[in-house]
Amino acid sequence: MSKVRVNLANPAELCEIPGIRPSEAEAIIRFRTEHGPIKNADQLSEIIGGHALDAAALDFDPALTTAPESPGA
């Protein structure tokens, strides 16, 4: 299984994370746009309403930059 790059992924790619629904993908995009990159799985869980995620499926790099919408979104 490849990891999803949380801070660069578009909504469709975010929905590839097990347990992420389209509305949660939009919340992630909104958070990145307003606050910058997501730092870790705990912060991501808070953004989407508190449910646990498989951290093995997530990549939070790059930590210093983010893309509100990735190409092809």
Domain coordinates in residue numbering, the chain = 4-56
Both tokens assigned to 33: 């746009």
Contact assessment for residue 38 and residue 48, using Cβ atoms and an 8 Å cutoff: no
- Residue 64 CB burial class (10 angstroms; 0-12, 13-18, ≥19): exposed
Cα(56)–Cα(27) distance, rounded to whole angstroms?
Answer: 21
Q: How far apart are CA 15 and CA 4, in angstroms?
A: 9
- 6 has a pLDDT exceeding 60: yes
pLDDT of residue 46: 95
pLDDT for the residue 23: 97
pLDDT for res 52: 87
